[in-house]
Amino acid sequence: MVPHNFAAGDRIQKEKERGIYVIKEGRCEIFLNDDKMEMLDRGDFFFESTVLFGSPDLYQVRAINNTEAYFIGSEALENIPIVQWKLFELYNKRLSRITSNGDDGSTPNFQWKEEYSVSVQEIDADHKRMLEAAEKLNRAIEIKENREVLNDILDFLITYTREHFKKEEDMMKSYFYPEAEEHSKKHAKLTEEVLSLKNTFDAGEIEMDSEFINFLQSWIIDHILTEDMQCGTFLNHRSIY
């Protein structure tokens, strides 16, 4: 553990090394676009996404008063299951706040935010189109459109997403992305999950409801904010924007 001291008002920058900060003394706040998301006190931690996924967190952190915090590198955390679980639990909680309309994270929101950008224009354009289709489906569910309309929108979303996955995989192979094979496996798993859900819907065994939309939010946005962020960073380092 490496101690760090921050003065009131300091923005806490991420270390080059992957790891989290744990507050020993003082208070901090998490904010996004100058909107306060969460207050942090003694014992709280932040920058969990760098440990879990090796990708930058979307939010920023500022010291409210003079603060002392310990930096703990990811190597010390990776083989402790309970710590990994706590980090993932907190990641999901904060992600839900970022991607929702409501403060409690209960209302899905598929509106594009600049924080979702992976800084690769072609990939961002696809992500925007996917979110637009998901929001269209969300609205259709809210106004209780018939099953045929819902199915048509979902079919388009699945087809477009599969085309996007193929395009992304070709790009990763072209630039020798080291995680290309693992990334492709995750694409296959995501596709399998949503196709299974669609087949269940087609069979009349489930309805498209808020639970379905929450799954869709996780399916699209979580992937963008974890896997694709890492890929985008890799491509940027090769001057692909």
Domains and CATH numbers, the chain: 2-99 (2.60.120.10), 114-236 (1.20.120.50)
Question: In this predicted structure, what is the pLDDT of residue 36?
Answer: 87
Question: In this predicted structure, what is the pLDDT of residue 107?
Answer: 59
Query: What is the rounded distance in angstroms from the CA atom of residue 167 to the CA atom of residue 31?
Result: 34
Question: In this predicted structure, what is the pLDDT of residue 103?
Answer: 47
Question: In this predicted structure, what is the pLDDT of residue 108?
Answer: 65
Question: In this predicted structure, what is the pLDDT of residue 106?
Answer: 53
Question: In this predicted structure, what is the pLDDT of residue 178?
Answer: 93
Which ranges constitute the DSSP H helices of 6-110? 48-52, 81-99
Query: What is the rounded distance in angstroms from the CA atom of residue 117 to the CA atom of residue 151?
Result: 28
Q: Pick from 8, 69, 58, 65: which is nearest to 35 by CA?
A: 58
Q: Which residues of the chain have pLDDT under 50?
A: 102-105
Question: In this predicted structure, what is the pLDDT of residue 91?
Answer: 84
Whole-prediction pTM:
0.66
Question: In this predicted structure, what is the pLDDT of residue 217?
Answer: 79
Q: What is the CA radius of gyration of the chain?
A: 19
pLDDT tens-digit series, residues 169-225:
999 999 999 999 999 998 998 898 889 888 988 888 888 887 788 788 777 877 776
Residue 81 exposed, middle or buried by CB count within 10 Å (0-12, 13-18, 19+): exposed
Query: What is the rounded distance in angstroms from the CA atom of residue 70 to the CA atom of residue 127?
Result: 36
